[in-house]
A and B are shown apart, each in its own frame.
Chain A
Amino acid sequence: MAAGAASGGSSQSDTYKEARGWLLLPAWAVLGVFVLAPVLMMLVYSFLTKEFRGGVIWEFSLGAYDQFFCNRGLFGDEPCSIEWTYINIFWRSIWQAGAATILSLVIGFPTAYFIATRPEKIRPLWVFMITIPYWVNLLIRTVSMKFMLRDQGPLNDFLISTGLIDSPIHIINTNFAVQLGLFYSYLPFMVLPIYASVERYNFNLSEAAADLYASKWVTARRILLPAVKPGVIAGCVLVFVPSLGSFLAPDLLGGAKNFMIGSLIEEQFKGNAGNWPFGAAASMVLLTMVLILLVVFARQQARAEKAQ
């Protein structure tokens, strides 16, 4: 570096460029090994033929995608008509993940706002407290949720004891139980980005709006919300995407009826009964959808930044 700096402008920047290239190598290696390679592997597997005891035969096949999208009748010899089974599972997954995201937003936004408006010194404490439950393994948290929501569980016991209800509400094994489970699993991913953006918000702007005759509600909608929108969008993406592919909450809380795409994929790789190429194909479809979502999000973000 010192030699480069001494020998003048252009060679100095060349040295920097070269060094920068080499310094980026570990990052590229990590990305390559842990992101690119698995995705490529999955892409390849989705175009292979299934082995009956799990695994694949190295022979090109569109069978997995065909199975996903095409209904060829009971004996598999009819022409392709749309297979609704998996699309329905997908649709339900989107719906469930969407509901969980909205639930997280409704609870998470006031929480984040509350934390961001505490005195600066105790804010980290609040954030810390939000994260404490997440030190426990997700599986254990989801199982304990199952116990909480049971017909004879603490939640129903409590509601009956307060006299709000006479007989237990059936929550477990419903769509709502899955939404609750997903909400609980990913709530911090909603709270933290919103907290970060509210904390950066200049509350002087709210004062200025009030000074200019805006009510509290109008101020929140027209001044606060546009300012914290990037945080809200980030939070929604961070909850929606993992919810979409989640399988623990639907498996444990939703019962057999409330199958989601994550469970479908998981089953294809379990034991000997699975179908690897089909699982890989379903994963690819999921991945594509998430990518589309992220591109939309990135565009939105870029537009928001340009506006500022």
Chain B
Amino acid sequence: MRNAVKRYGDFTALQEISLSIYDNEFFTLLGPSGCGKTTLLRMIAGFEDVSEGAIFLFDDEIETLPPNKRPVNTVFQNYALFPHMTVTENVSFGLEMLGKSKAEARARAADMLELVQLTQFAGRKPSQLSGGQQQRVALARALAPQPKVLLLDEPLSALDLKLRQAMRFELKEIQRETGITFIFVTHDQEEALTMSDRIAVMSAGELQQLGEAKEIYERPRNMFVADFIGETNLLEVSVDKIAKGRAACHLGGGHELTCNEVEGVGVGANVHLSIRPERLFLSETATEAESLKGTIRDNIFIGTDIQTLVQLDDGPQMMVRTSNSDRGNKRIFDAGRPAFVNMEQGAARLLVD
């Protein structure tokens, strides 16, 4: 799939979005609810009109085709399984509509059910299945006609946490096995990060950043992306000196950090800085030139890690994440004690607003 340009008319739910999705890719549209990601997906499926622009699928322009003429299939958020049909009938429906013989459709449905491990439920009605099983039926039904692109509209959101995590791996596995391009819509950044080859972060109908998971996490382009993906310390800074690709950033209260230079940010600019909490560490004494002095405010236990909130002297607050194995039984984390916040090199990232 190449060169997909989509514009959305008068209400402008989506503003001139252009993106290319590659063959065989697990592509994720990520964003908060109302950002237009589902609208975009529905436009690809054909349920919403494209007001302006065009959608191409392997060089064919498809945006004027009705949904039943597009070689894409959808896994719906609420599954939308046909309640009066058995699992097998559901899965073979698309193939029958494509004019395949009943026997052929049934055989392919059986293969699909094997792929999603539901063979023993073939004769049941959807209402006799659990949510997770219904989800698999929806997946099998959408995969059965061998679409060129599979669209998934928050398919995991109705499942409980354990099942959701298991399904992530399974989906990824199935994508690899079938070699079909998956376009996956979610508001769950963890889901997006664990499964996707590439992620498109969307907000307010606009594409904010497009890239591989690692790239989006480590080099967020703007405030929204940094804030939405994972946890981060967003600090207001003023840029002081810029030399050799490095910028000195003032956090207030006399605290200073070295950041990487970013295009479009000059001396004297007041911008935001993002530092991931896991790339900070605490010490009792100043270990580096840029140790920031502060006081421990609070500790939050989150299973494998501990999050420590530090109030910098006369400056902002910072969140530091320490893995429990690193902590040992040092006592420096107790609330009220003074401590120094240190940063791994290159962890501070300036953001364009």
Residues of A within 8 A of B (CB): 202, 204-205, 207-215, 218, 223, 226-227, 307-308
Contact = CB atoms under 8 A, between A and B. Distances in A.
B157 interface: no
Interface string B67-93: 111001110101011111000000001
B84 A204 contact: no
Residue in A202, A208, A210, A223 with the greatest tally of chain B CB atoms within 10 Å = A208
A209 B98 CA distance: 12
Interface in B165-185: none
Interface in B84-119: 84, 93-94, 97-98
Contact of A215 (B68, B78, B82, B125): B68
Contacts of A226: 84
A308 B83 contact: yes
A210 B68 contact: yes
B67 A308 contact: no
A211 B125 contact: no
A211 B94 CA distance: 8
Nearest to B91: A212
9 contacts: A208-B74, A209-B93, A210-B66, A210-B67, A211-B72, A212-B93, A213-B69, A213-B97, A218-B97
Interface residues of B, number: 26
A169 to B, nearest CB: 41
Nearest to A218: B97
Task: Give chain A's interface secondary structure class.
Answer: helix
A227 B76 contact: no
A106 to B, nearest CB: 24
Contacts of A210: 46-47, 66-68
A300 to B, nearest CB: 14
B145 interface: yes
B225 to A, nearest CB: 31
Contacts of A227: 83-84
B125 A308 contact: yes
A211 B149 CA distance: 12
Interface in B117-156: 125, 127, 141-142, 145
A208 B145 contact: no
A211 B69 CA distance: 8
A207 B80 CA distance: 9
A218 to B, nearest CB: 7
Contacts of B195: none
Given A211-B67, A212-B94, A213-B94, 11 more contacts: A204-B78, A207-B67, A209-B82, A210-B46, A211-B68, A211-B74, A213-B145, A214-B68, A227-B84, A307-B84, A308-B125
A301 to B, nearest CB: 14
B89 to A, nearest CB: 10
Given A207-B67, A207-B76, A308-B125, A212 B145 contact: yes
A171 B66 CA distance: 45
Contacts of B94: 212-213
B125 A204 contact: no
Given A213-B68, A214-B93, A223-B82, A208 B125 contact: no
A210 B127 CA distance: 22
Q: Which 10 A-B residue pairs are closest in the complex by CB-CB distance?
A: A212-B94, A208-B80, A213-B97, A210-B67, A204-B80, A226-B84, A210-B68, A211-B74, A214-B97, A213-B68
Residue in B93, B98, B141 with the greatest tally of chain A CB atoms within 10 Å = B93
Contacts of B46: 210-211
Contact of B76 (A204, A213, A218, A223): A204
Contacts of B76: 204, 207-208
B45 interface: yes
A213 B98 contact: yes
Nearest to B92: A212
Contacts of B84: 226-227, 307-308
Nearest to A206: B80
A210 B142 CA distance: 12
A211 B97 contact: no
B246 to A, nearest CB: 52
Nearest to B151: A211
